[in-house]
Amino acid sequence: MNKQTGGALVGAGLGGLVGSQFGAGGGKAAATIGGVLLGGLLGSEVGKSMDRADRAYLDQSTNRALETGYANSRNEWRNPDTGNYGYTVPQRAYQSPDGRYCREYTQTVFIGGRKQDANGTACRNPDGSWQVVS
């Protein structure tokens, strides 16, 4: 594992931990999901150029994709101020062995012209919030 990959993995873990401390209900889930994805991106070279608005657009796209996105359809975002953009692609929803509603997803961002991908799975908690499980 190289330093960039290691940094991305550590950043993802820390980002999820920090993100889980904010918001309530769906907002908490978006913060946790965004924290994991952003942590991974920020641990890599691409994420170093993301600003606060980029992160907000990314969080909104991810939450929208998980809540209402059609399987294999892009939920896009673009920051008109920085030109950075990306999309979240949810997969078909399924029920986990513990009965929760879950979705796998792919997150792609283009920051400063450089592409970064992240994959994950999120499941809905009984309170309606989303929890990243992988």
Of 30 and 67, the structure prediction assigns the larger pLDDT to 67
Give residue 46's domain range: 3-132
Instruction: Give the DSSP per-residue string, 79-125.
Output: -TTT--EEEEEE---EE-TTS-EEEEEEEEEEETTEEEEEEEEEEE-
Dump pLDDT digits (tens) for 1-49.
443 443 444 455 445 544 544 445 555 555 556 656 665 655 555 566 7
The total domain count for the chain is: 1
